[in-house]
Chain A
Amino acid sequence: MSVADTYERLFHAALRIRLVEERIIALYPSDKIQSPVHLSIGQEAVAVGACDALAARDLVFGTYRGHAFYLAKGGNMRAMFAELYGKATGCGGGKAGSMHLAAPEVGFMGASAVVASTIPHAVGSALAARHRKLDQVALAVFGDGATEQGVYHESLNFAALHRLPVVLLCENNGLAVHSPREARQAFGIAEHARGYGINVAVCEDGYDFMAVRAVLADAVSKVRTGEGPVLVECKTERYMEHVGVGEDYAAGYRSAEVAAEWKRRDPLCCEADLVARWTAEIAAEIDDAVAFAEASPWPSSDALLADVA
């Protein structure tokens, strides 16, 4: 496949995620989406580039800011909207909401709303993959805030100690809710990981899905051939507020100028012709998914106590 084809495939995938989230913004005032939402707008390229570098059999362990990775790994859009609506046909049967999307059928192994808590799952999954002799890579995605948690350190140590086939992907948007990295971290994420003997790659241009894909493809290849874990730090920018569907540049904790600079380089903001080419088609797919969610039944009351233990 040519570079141009790859570019268009990734652009389409990223645009699809952005349009889905823009639809969520549009729908949110209706209160039909009964869930807090943590939007990935601005960060789509990380998910798209990373998942494109993975094989279908590889596994992704996500976070509550999970719409982008769910869709990029191949999660069903109808099941996602139905889940946001709290319907029985949702990917979690109406028990997951936005923060716990999962699509194990395509290797998206769930998302947790407790920061850093799925990182060890990726490591343990890699341990299982090696034990079972599966040719399978696990990818843990997490934000820069997660690197402050003790379990992040514990996970890196074990993954490095046993040279497990896991990619640790940090989406570094520089913010933990409203707190800048400078207020939180006395260490550098890459330097810290190198202390474990972990290979590190940094992608400065997290808006560029081609660049992300190239870095991840190299990381995945190293991991797959048994070179041990790789940490990828992807710089990116969250355009929206931490939770909810608004922008909050006026709150004063972040710079609108910095975000504007990212947007000037963001292909989804710049390439109007490609956006125009696919918007109608993607909008139709979203219409269908929303209609599916609207028409779907609520969970029955016997679901309340189903699947507890």
Chain B
Amino acid sequence: MGVAHKLNDDLGAVCTYRDALHRSMHDAMTRDPNVVILGQGVDDHKGTFGSTLGLAEEFGAGRVMDTPLAEEGMTGIAVGAALNGLYPIQTHIRVDFALLAMNQIVNLAAKYRYMFGGRFEVPMLVRMIIGRSWGQGAQHSQSLQSMFAHVPGLLVLAPASADAILQTYPWIIEHHRGPVISLEHRLLYDVNFRVGAEAAATGDTPLGARVVRRGGAATVVATSIMVLEALRAADHLAQHAGIEIEVIDLNCVSHPDTRVIMESVERTGRLLVADTSWKAYGVCAEICRIVCERMPMALTAPVVTLGMAPAPCPTAKVLEDEFYPNLRRLTQELATLVLGREGRDVPLPDDASMADVYKRFKGPF
């Protein structure tokens, strides 16, 4: 496959999440003249946080279109364009704004293939960006993957790395004939990734879960930026307690890779789920359902889940820090999950180390 070939070429190269997005947009536009990008400000000087920068100049205003502030209408227009031979890529600079388009996403795009007995296809990609920190607050920070993943007919992704983007975006744009919702994390945009260094997805498509760290003491299933947090916690525990944690990047939220998850849980006997969203009725609950329905006896300890506090997101830094699960809590929970009461004696990482990621991220947005 072309993508794999390209990745081999890039092995060892370093690439930001943003550059991976830009490259996947650019490559899709180059490959297929019927790919168009529709979104607020996609052609402006910031170019969707850099991910569409320069594309309007290169491919023309007819293919990279700034849009009115009309989320439902523009999603319907994208659906209509997809029904008539285009591949629209729609952008929402915050996930929260996509709620205005829920009618078109849930009632129309998700159902057009099924509801008409397979007569129509709606191939399109909707990119939504999760905001976090610097006072994003209640309406610029939501992580609504489970809301979308609840609806049959939608493919929902939460790419956690540059590799995840470079592998999944070209594949879905070329091969998947239905609507895809991808929740990108704003804090990851500036993060550098070693491209080709991560484990590739294990299935026939790049949509499968990725085992990004091997270990036998416990399994962490994580989404989006929580994959990075889990890797940091795992490294800390390996260094300070000799515990080897396995970390799985869920990658595709709507169609979780059951095989990879079960194989790991069966081996480790311990599971922690770390999601960027609320725990109730979300990814945390769904992964627990998968394990409970298949092999609850594989668990040697109760499952631990981490997610946002069950409240809207506050803006004050001191509250926000408590709202999100942090590296210390994740490390503590993992240590206790593996060692029981003795886990409390494991030294925790300095909270400040979390800021390695966040310090790079400054407002205004």
Residues of A participating in the B interface, judged by any CB pair closer than 8 Å:
59, 61, 90-96, 100, 102, 104, 109-110, 112, 114, 117-129, 131-132, 134, 138, 150-151, 153-155, 157-158, 161, 306-309
- Bound-state CA distance A72–B107 (Å) is 26
Within 8 Å of chain A (Cβ to Cβ): is B242?
A: no
Min Cβ gap A277→B in Å is: 35
Check B84 against A154 for contact (C-beta < 8 Å): no
Partner of A125, one of B75, B80, B115: B80
Q: With contacts A61-B80, A125-B80, A308-B113 known, what are 5 further pairs, Cβ within 8 A?
A: A110-B112, A119-B76, A123-B73, A157-B73, A307-B117
Smallest Cβ distance from B65 to chain A, in angstroms?
8
Q: Which of B62, B76, B78, B120 meets A151, CB within 8 Å? A: B76
On whether the beta carbons of B34 and A158 are closer than 8 Å, the reply is: no
On chain B, the residues within 8 Å of A132 by CB distance are 34, 84-86
Q: Find out whether the CB atom of B77 lies under 8 angstroms from the CB atom of A120.
A: yes
Taking CB atoms, residues of chain B closer than 8 Å to A91 are: 116-117, 119
| Contact of B84 with A125 in the complex, beta carbons under 8 Å | yes
Q: In the bound complex, what is the Cα–Cα distance between A200 and B121 (angstroms)?
A: 33
Q: Which residues of chain B come closer than 8 Å to A104, judged between CB atoms?
A: 119-120
B residues with a Cβ closer than 8 A to A are 34, 36, 62-63, 67-68, 70, 72-86, 88, 103-104, 107-108, 112-120, 152-155, 178
Residue of B nearest to A121 (CB): B80
A95, A109, A112, A124: the one contacting B81 at CB < 8 Å is A124
Q: Complex: how many Å from CA A104 to CA B80?
A: 13
Question: What CA separation (Å) do A114 and B112 show in the bound complex?
Answer: 13
In the complex, what residues of A have CB within 8 A of residue B117's CB? Answer: 90-96, 307
Contact of B84 among A102, A110, A114, A124 (CB under 8 A): A124
Tell whether, in the assembled complex, residue B83 and residue A124 are in contact, meaning their CB atoms are under 8 Å apart. Answer: yes
List the B side residues contacting A59 at CB < 8 Å. Answer: 84
B36 proximity list for chain A (CB < 8 A):
131
Q: Which of A61, A104, A109, A121 has the most CB of B within 10 A?
A: A121
Question: Smallest CB-CB separation from A79: which chain B residue?
Answer: B117
Q: Are B72 and A112 in contact (CB under 8 A)?
A: no
A135 to B103, CA, bound (A): 30
Interchain CB contact (< 8 A) of B116 among A102, A117, A155? A102
B119 cross-chain contacts in A, Cβ below 8 A: 91-92, 102, 104, 110
A127 touches B86 (CB 8 A): yes
Shortest Cβ distance from B101 into A: residue:
A151
Residues on A with beta carbons closer than 8 Å to the beta carbon of B62:
131
- Whether the Cβ atoms of A131 and B68 lie closer than 8 Å is no
With contacts A95-B115, A104-B119 known, is A120 near B104, CB below 8 A?
yes
Contact across chains for A308 and B120 when beta carbons are under 8 A apart: no
A307 partner, pick from B72, B74, B82, B118, beta carbons under 8 A: B118
Q: Is B115's CB under 8 angstroms from A96's CB?
A: yes
Q: Which of B74, B80, B104, B120 has the most CB of A within 10 A?
A: B80
| Alpha-carbon distance A119/B74, docked complex (angstroms) | 11
Smallest Cβ-Cβ distance to B67: which chain A residue: A158
Of the candidates B72, B77, B154, the one having the most CB atoms from chain A within 10 angstroms of its own CB is B77
Max count, chain B CB within 10 A of own CB: residue among A112, A127, A150:
A127
Closest chain B residue, CB of each to CB of A101: B116
A117 touches B152 (CB 8 A): no
Q: B107 contacts which chain A residues (CB < 8 A)?
A: 112, 114, 117
Q: Looking at A92, A112, A120, A138, which has the most chain B CB atoms within 10 Å of its CB?
A: A120
State the CA gap A119–B107 with chains docked (Å). Answer: 14
Kindly list chain A residues whose C-beta atoms are within 8 Å of the C-beta of B115: 92, 95-96, 100, 110
The 6 A-B residue pairs whose C-beta atoms are closest, nearest first, are: A124-B80, A154-B73, A120-B76, A93-B117, A121-B80, A124-B77
A152: min CB distance to chain B, Å: 9
* Residue of B85, B114, B118 contacting most chain A CB atoms (<10 Å): B114
B176 to chain A: closest residue by CB: A309
Do B155 and A124 touch (CB < 8 A)? no
Given contacts A112-B108, A309-B178, contact A131 B116 (CB under 8 A): no
The interface residues of chain A lying within 8 Å CB-to-CB of B73 are 120, 123, 150-151, 153-155, 157-158
- CA of A126 to CA of B67 in the docked complex: distance in angstroms? 16
Between A and B, 29 residue pairs with Cβ closer than 8 Å are A91-B116, A92-B115, A93-B117, A95-B114, A95-B115, A96-B115, A96-B116, A102-B116, A112-B108, A117-B76, A117-B104, A118-B108, A120-B76, A121-B79, A122-B80, A123-B73, A124-B84, A125-B84, A127-B86, A128-B84, A128-B85, A132-B84, A138-B84, A150-B72, A155-B73, A155-B77, A157-B73, A307-B118, A309-B113
Residues of A within 8 A of B85 (CB): 128, 132
**A70 CB → nearest B CB, Å:** 12
Q: Is the CB of A93 within 8 A of B118?
A: yes
| A95-B115, A120-B80, A131-B36 as given contacts; A308 in contact with B104, CB under 8 Å | no
What is the bound-complex CA distance between A184 and B164, given in angstroms? Answer: 49
* Residues of chain B contacted by A110 (CB below 8 angstroms): 112, 115-116, 119-120
**CB of A31, distance to nearest CB on chain B (Å):** 22
Contact A158:B84 (CB < 8 A) given known A117-B76, A121-B79: no
Would you call A92 and B116 a contact (CB within 8 A)?
yes
- In the complex, the chain A residue whose C-beta lies closest to that of B76 is A120
Measured CB to CB, the nearest residue on chain A to B100 is: A150
Contact between B76 and A155 (Cβ–Cβ < 8 Å)? yes
Pair A158/B178 contact, Cβ less than 8 Å: no
C-alpha spacing A154/B71, complex, angstroms: 9
- Residue pair B68, A123 in contact (C-beta under 8 Å): no
With A90-B117, A114-B108, A161-B68 as known contacts, state yes or no: A308 contacts B81, CB within 8 Å.
no
Q: Is the CB of B116 within 8 A of A309?
A: no
Q: Are B80 and A117 in contact (CB under 8 A)?
A: no
Would B114 and A308 count as touching, CB distance under 8 A? yes
Cα separation A91 to B86 with both chains bound (whole Å):
24
Residue of B at shortest CB range from A102? B116
Closest beta carbon of chain B to A127's beta carbon, Å: 5
The 8 Å CB contact of B68, one of A112, A128, A157, is: A157
* Distance, CA A82 to CA B271, complexed state (A): 50
CA–CA, A120 and B76, complex, Å: 5
Are the CB atoms of A114 and B76 closer together than 8 Å? no
